Structure 1
């Protein structure tokens, strides 16, 4: 839907995208998520989150609509590099990864078309 709106009116200003994140979109993100990734500070895996998926997603959407959703702090680890140094890596909780992916998809639908239109002009 957002891609259609953006295509119909490339200069349209989107002031809020939170209402575009719904259970259906989050379910799609869950299905595409890699279950082998490291867990965040809450220790919840994709499999564990999926045991009560519908309930979890309905609750997440409700919290987002009430502006009560707060991402948890990221778990920080140091990854060794070939030169003997390390680099920091943030590992997010599973639910936060779902929200990030949903936001990425929505923003991509808006900006991909804008960049494409700019290339044509």
Structure 2
């Protein structure tokens, strides 16, 4: 049976910092795995986006709009206000990504990179923060890909410890070439 939300908007107008709200949501998701969150969009607010802005790399490549972090920062308050207005009116439209090809290491082939516009990076970062608070609790400890505070080095260390300390019957290496 899936638990039904008593509306997570109880934290909506509470005046709590967004970090506190995200921690409370993460704790609820951890304690009640079947809980259904029905109202999280209000968390996409100026405080969250401002925090995401601070975390974005200053030297990141610009998208098709050629907007850099420094350029966006020149009118940060107005830019965030305008972005939030578009998001909450549901008229925000992500821009096409800029496609760039970079060489594959050890090969003559190239791999494509999709470089989003700065505002798209900001919105994506905000959504990641909100969704991580709900779904991070569901991942198993042995999962390392694209998770906060985990790296490929952590995965290699765990693999090394397993191979050295536990009985192993098979090791399989796989590489998905193209699909």
**Is TM-score (shorter-chain normalized) higher than 0.5?**
yes
Task: Describe the superposition over 1:21-66 as per-residue Cα deviations: whole angstroms up to 9, x where unpaired.
Answer: 1000000000111010110000000001011111111111111111
Query: In structure 2, which of residues 75, 79, 86 is the aligned counterpart of residue 63 of structure 1?
Result: 86
8 Å contact kept, 1:76–1:89: yes
Alignment of 1:1-121 (within 5 A): 1=21, 2-7=25-30, 9-81=32-104, 82-115=106-139
C-alpha displacement at 1:14, in angstroms?
A: 2.3
Secondary structure in structure 2 of the residue aligned to 1:88: strand
Within 2, Cα distance between the matches of 1:114 and 1:84?
40
Q: Any gaps of 5 or more consecutive residues in structure 1?
A: 117-121
RMSD (Å), alpha carbons: 1.6
Structure of higher CA gyration radius: 2
Indicate the larger mover: 76-85 or 34-43. 76-85
TM-score (normalised: structure 1): 0.87
The higher-RCO structure (CA 8 Å, 6+ apart) is 1
Within 1, Cα distance between the matches of 2:89 and 2:28?
25
Within 1, Cα distance between the matches of 2:131 and 2:90?
19
Aligned length: 116
Within 1, Cα distance between the matches of 2:26 and 2:84?
21
Within 1, Cα distance between the matches of 2:31 and 2:44?
21
TM-score (normalised: structure 2): 0.60
Within 1, Cα distance between the matches of 2:91 and 2:59?
29
Q: Any gaps of 5 or more consecutive residues in structure 2?
A: 1-20, 141-179
